[in-house]
Amino acid sequence: MTTLSPILKQATPVVVDHAKGSWIFGDDGRKYLDFTTGIGVTSTGHCHPDVVAAAQEQVGKIIHAQYTTVMHKPLMALTEKLGEVLPAGLDSVYYANSGSEAVEASIRLARMATGRPNIVAFHGGFHGRTVAAASLTTAGTKFRSGFSPIMGGVQIAPFPYAFRYGWDEDTAIDFALKELDYLLTTVSSPKDTAGFIIEPVLGDGGYLPTPPRFLEGIRERADRHGIVLILDEVQAGVGRTGKFWGHDWADITPDVVITAKGLASGFPISAIAASGELMAKAWPGSQGGTYGGNAVAAAAAVATLDVIARENLVANAAERGRELRAGLEGLQNDDPRMGDVRGLGLMQAIEYVDADGNPDAATASAIQQAAIAEDLLLLTCGSAGNVIRVIPPLVVSAEEIGIGLDAFARASKAIQA
Ligand code: PMP
């Protein structure tokens, strides 16, 4: 009998029959509240009727209109729609299938545009599983180890992870900015540095919002040295943090934005956006791929962006996020294991620590598993695996947030006992 490879590590034993909105219906007859959203993908909830209708309609017209062979209307419509939400000046867009591919494309673009070799990424970042993206990923050694040599020309700079160091945020930011300058004077000269790549909220690395002052400091150094600033918005973008882009929390405009996950509510598509001037520095034919910018995925992305605007889902993410955060902080008051509760919008997390303040992965994992018994699906993350992340769909209701918090409280208690 053929079986699925054990390479895939399963977070839950659930086998899905179907799903709707915030809910997954298992083939075990149970109904689960899905606060994983397929790792932050099903932004408009599972099977939103508009997304389903757009995809179904497109399937009957053309499924695969290979975009370097023929152009298709969904991709043209998506490009126009993205123009309504992209930062000013980022008026040129290229499409791929996954976050990792878009990260690769951005690295290629930064290197071609500057003629410089090095990329600086930040400690704890997650940028994907392909070799180049994994080379930029330091959310845990499991993403890198065992397949060296990985891509060269990558330098990792400190991230202001204040909670880990036991510092206040300003001290952590000052330290990380000084270290970045130190790196640029001792390891990777600006004349060898093509790009900085950073997430607006470290995702798999622990759901750590990147402090606005840190992003602004990176922007200032990018400007000073002609380095391309790439914002990896794959997990934090498209409304998740309660603003359309995660970097909207800071006063910056990136040179390149990468988006995927929530963009098409579950269909695989990613986009990288930059100014036409920057894009023109990469030569035609230097990027591409068989499936990139698929017509059905593009139609689903257009429908997703329409739903997000029409149903005010960015505002919903902010409001429901506040409720979720308040509920988690309420639980934290009586639970010393919940060392840090943090996040933005509907991207919230709890970092678990033991009595000595050290990372406690066993408790995080036990509570995540106990939540399944309470019909609540959650994921863990963090370099030590000691963080539970809570990622409801942007359509989540106040009532569902309440149901989720109650289930989470019961799961926490079950492990405490
Ligand atoms: N960047 C970030 C910030 C991500 O969260 C992820 C996926 N978790 C990726 C890149 C890679 O995306 P994909 O899995 O679609 O390749």
159 lines ligand 1 (CB under 6 A): no
346 lines ligand 1 (CB under 6 A): no
Strand-pairing partners, residue 332, are: none
Closest CA to 243 of 167, 303, 314, 174: 314
203 lines ligand 1 (CB under 6 A): yes
Delimit the CATH 3.40.640.10 region(s) of the chain. 51-310
pLDDT along the chain (417 residues), means of 10: 91 97 97 98 98 98 96 98 97 98 97 98 97 96 89 97 96 98 98 98 98 98 98 98 98 98 98 98 91 98 98 98 98 97 98 96 98 98 97 98 98 89
- The reported pLDDT for the residue numbered 417 is 55
Q: How far, CA to CA in Å, does 148 sit from each of 5, 135, 152, 186?
A: 22, 9, 10, 25
Instruction: Tell me the CATH class for 51-310.
Output: alpha beta
- The reported pLDDT for the residue numbered 277 is 98
Within a 10 A sphere around the Cβ of 389, how many other Cβ atoms? 25
- The reported pLDDT for the residue numbered 208 is 98
Q: What is the CATH number of domain 16-48+312-416?
A: 3.90.1150.10
CA 169 – CA 68 distance, rounded (Å): 47
Delimit the CATH 3.90.1150.10 region(s) of the chain. 16-48+312-416
ipTM over 0.90: yes
Q: Give the residue, out of 42, 138, 201, 234, with the most ligand 1 atoms within 8 A of its beta carbon, to mutate for a pocket test.
A: 234
Q: By the 8 A CB rule, do 101 and 325 touch?
A: no
Report the atom number in ligand 1 closest to the C-alpha of 103: 10
- Sorted by sequence, the CB contacts under 8 Å of residue 315 that are 6+ apart come out as 242
241 lines ligand 1 (CB under 6 A): no
- The reported pLDDT for the residue numbered 148 is 85
Report the atom number in ligand 1 closest to the C-alpha of 98: 15
